[in-house]
Amino acid sequence: MNTEKNKASTSTPFGGGGGIVIINYGAGNIQSIKFAIKRLGYESVLSNDVSEIQRADKVIFPGVGEASSAMKMLLNSGLDKVIPTLKQPVLGICLGMQLMCHSSEEGNTTGLGIFDVDVVKFDNTVKVPQIGWNQITNLKSELFNGIEEKEHIYLVHSFYAPLCSETIAECTYGLDYSAALRKDNFYGTQFHPEKSSDVGEKILENFLKM
Using one digit for the tens of pLDDT, what is the confidence trace for 109-145? 999 999 999 999 999 999 999 999 999 999 999 999 9
**Which residues, in sequence order, are bridge partners of residue 51?**
none
Active site residue 152: no
Q: Which residues of the chain are modeled with pLDDT < 50?
A: 1-16
Contact 168, 97 (CB under 8 A): no
Active site residue 94: yes
CA–CA separation, 190 vs 15, rounded Å? 29
In this prediction, residue 138 carries a pLDDT of 98
Active site residue 194: yes
The pTM for the full model equals 0.91
For residue 67, the surrounding DSSP H or E stretch is: helix 67-77
Point out the catalytic residue in the list 52, 151, 194, 205. Answer: 194
CA–CA separation, 19 vs 177, rounded Å? 32
Point out the catalytic residue in the list 52, 94, 166, 205. Answer: 94
Grouping H, G, I as helix, E, B as strand and the rest as coil, residue 209 is coil
CA–CA separation, 54 vs 84, rounded Å? 11
Contact 117, 88 (CB under 8 A): no
In this prediction, residue 6 carries a pLDDT of 37
